[in-house]
Amino acid sequence: MTARYAVFGHPVVHSLSPRIHAAFGSQLGIAMEYAAIDATPEDFATALAAFADAGGLGANVTLPHKERALALCASASERARRAGAANTLTRRDGAWHGENTDGLGLVHDLTERRRIDLRARRVLMLGAGGAARGTAPALLDAGIDELWIVNRTPERADALADALGEPGRVHTRYWDDLRNLGAFDMVINATSAGRGGSIDLPFTLATKRTLAVDLSYGEAAVPFLAWAEAAGCEQRIDGIGMLVEQAAESFAIWHGRRPDTDPVFESLSARAGVLHTAD
Ligand code: ATR
């Protein structure tokens, strides 16, 4: 029987994960099936259980199920617990084990692909939802100097800072304070504002040396990266690299081998470029 894997999300039809995992599988000669399963929040637990009953060995979990996924796990890695969310589930002894590869994926993309030294960086994280929670611990582990968290709803920024447990390095401010914070070495957009809305940010946050990173990709990354371009940031990165790297981490957990991510990254970036110029 072919080994079965899947990504769960809602919506999930546009997920690139099936393509990415299929490409990794053919690169390494690993036969498997990787499906996209759409499940509403109400149906997610049942759909995941049905998948396990049908022989599912591993699942990626995307919006909006990452927190619920962790709750459905019998065990979880320290990273997933710190993030409060799981994006990678593995069947172990008849139960799910949860991990979170988003943060490692981001750090891998920045340090290995882009050769960016994260140490001693003053970093601004915009947002305090799932994407911020998934990536903040890995950024701290990678040695950034300061993490400033600013969220539209300030209580969520405070909750994230508390969960990170590093008061010496992690600070929160109100959205209205953004114009008083000066410029950062790196500004990360971990909000979902680009998926429909616009984002209102002062140019004082950036200089031309500021690295601008949007954790989204495609259309959703356009408003923030357009702001970064207008602010003069020379280096602007969307979330395609992180997506491919987090997938490679999941793949390595399941199959014991980490694929070469460059060909997949290049083909997806070329496609995203086409999408951007087509609108
Ligand atoms: P995700 O998993 O993508 O992070 P989420 O957990 O729903 O999704 O979090 C969305 C994040 O985007 C939150 O930080 C949210 O701010 P609130 O906590 O105040 O809701 C942020 N966000 C969404 N729309 C935004 C907007 N128009 N401007 C600023 N922040 C926004």
Q: Tokens for 5?
A: 């894997």
Atom of ligand 1 nearest to the CA of 85: 2
192: CA distance to ligand 1 center in Å? Answer: 5
Indicate left, alpha or beta for 182 from its phi (over 0: left) and psi (-120 to 50: alpha): left
3-101+245-272 shares its CATH topology with 104-240: yes
pLDDT tens digit sequence for 25-57: 999 999 999 999 999 999 999 999 999 999 999
CB atoms within 10 A of CB 168: 6
Atom of ligand 1 nearest to the CA of 64: 2
Q: Tokens for 260?
A: 């070469």
Question: Does 63 belong to an annotated binding site?
Answer: no
pTM score over 0.85:
yes
pLDDT at 273: 57
What is the fold, at CATH topology level, of the domain defined by 3-101+245-272?
Rossmann fold (3.40.50)
pLDDT at 272: 63
pLDDT class of 183 with cuts at 50, 70, 90: very high
Question: Does 192 belong to an annotated binding site?
Answer: no
pLDDT at 279: 30
Question: Does 153 belong to an annotated binding site?
Answer: yes
> Would the pLDDT of 276 be above 70?
no
271: buried, middle or exposed (CB in 10 Å: 19+, 13-18, 0-12)?
middle
b/e map of 70-81 (b: 16 or more CB within 10 Å)?
bebbeebbebbb
Who contacts 147 (Cβ-Cβ below 8 Å, separation ≥6)?
A: 123, 125, 136, 139, 140, 164, 166, 169, 170, 171
Which homologous superfamily does the CATH classification assign to the domain defined by 104-240?
A: NAD(P)-binding Rossmann-like Domain (3.40.50.720)
Closest CA to 80 of 246, 260, 252: 246
pLDDT tens digit sequence for 9-30: 999 998 999 999 999 999 999 9
Q: Tokens for 54?
A: 């049908």
> Would the pLDDT of 277 be above 70?
no
Altogether, the residues listed in the chain come to a count of 279
Average pLDDT, the chain: 94
Ligand 1 neighbour 200 (Cβ under 6 A): no
pLDDT at 194: 86
Domain locations along the chain? 3-101+245-272, 104-240
> Would the pLDDT of 198 be above 90?
no
> Would the pLDDT of 275 be above 60?
no
Give the residue, by CA position, lying nearest to ligand 1 atom 7: 129
Regarding beta strands 95-99 and 88-92, do their DSSP bridges make them parallel or antiparallel, or are they unpaired?
antiparallel
Span 222-241, average pLDDT: 96
List, by residue number, the catalytic residues. Answer: 66
238 vs 224: CA distance, rounded Å: 9
156: CA distance to ligand 1 center in Å? Answer: 10
pLDDT class of 278 with cuts at 50, 70, 90: very low
Q: Tokens for 202?
A: 């002062």
128: CA distance to ligand 1 center in Å? Answer: 7
Share of the chain above pLDDT 70, in %: 97
